[in-house]
Structure 1
Amino acid sequence: MMHYVLWGVLIASGLLLLFIFLRNTRSVHWLGRICLQIAFAAFLIYFLNLFSTYTHFTIPLNAATVGTVSFLGIPGLCMLAAVKLVLL
């Protein structure tokens, strides 16, 4: 029974936070920009992994690598490639 109460509190507080966050138009613009950067980073890593059959070089598509590439951009992708080449 306690799990249901905790899940209810979690869902209610999450919805309230989402309502407060999306009420401001600047925050919607900010959230859209972050989502676009994350999608672009995932696309860059996926595009690099498409050529893995020719180059035998892959970068895993996970939250850490996508976060690095979305924060740093193309230099972040180059950094991940350099780290993988040096360490492996």
Structure 2
Amino acid sequence: MVVKVAIWGVLILSSLLLVMTVFRSRGGTRVLASLGVNVVVAAFLLYLLNLLSGYTHIELPINTATLGTATVLGVPGVLLLIGVKVVLL
């Protein structure tokens, strides 16, 4: 129980320090806005892909791993996820 509280404390403290560091820099709000837009676009692409799964027969779950890959890599990331699903699964 004490270990869980310590881990949560470290997580919250490090998150607060990260937010403080980002907002202190001059371009910090631009970085957060850009990241937010990328997450929204990635979620929309994955949702659109799942919406069209009746035609394509390809479904990708919207979870942290797929959303993170699509956020960082964009459309090539979604194509990478599709390729991994087709080849490996």
Fold agreement, TM-score > 0.5: yes
Tell me the TM-score normalized by structure 1: 0.74
CA deviation digits over 1:39-79, x for unaligned, max 9?
11111111111011222210110111111111111111111
User: Where do 4+ consecutive residues of structure 1 move more than 3 Å?
Assistant: 7-21
Q: Distance in 2 between matches of 1:59 and 1:19?
A: 35
Is 1:39 aligned with 2:40? yes
Aligned length: 88
Structure showing greater Rg: 1
The TM-score normalised by the length of structure 2 is 0.73
Aligned to 1:22: 23
Structure 1 unaligned blocks of 5 or more: 1-6
- Secondary structure (helix, strand or coil) at the match of 1:29 reads helix
| Per-residue deviation, residues 18-55 of structure 1 (Å, max 9, x unmatched) | 45533444101111001111111111111111011222
Counterpart residue number, 1:71: 72
- Equivalent-residue separation in structure 1 for 2:23 and 2:41 (angstroms): 23
C-alpha distance 50-27 of structure 1, shift in aligned 2 (>3 A): same
Q: Structure 1 CA distance, aligned partners of 2:14 and 2:71?
A: 28
The 3 A distance-change label for structure 1 pair 62 and 8 is: closer
Structure 2: gaps spanning 5 or more residues: 1-7
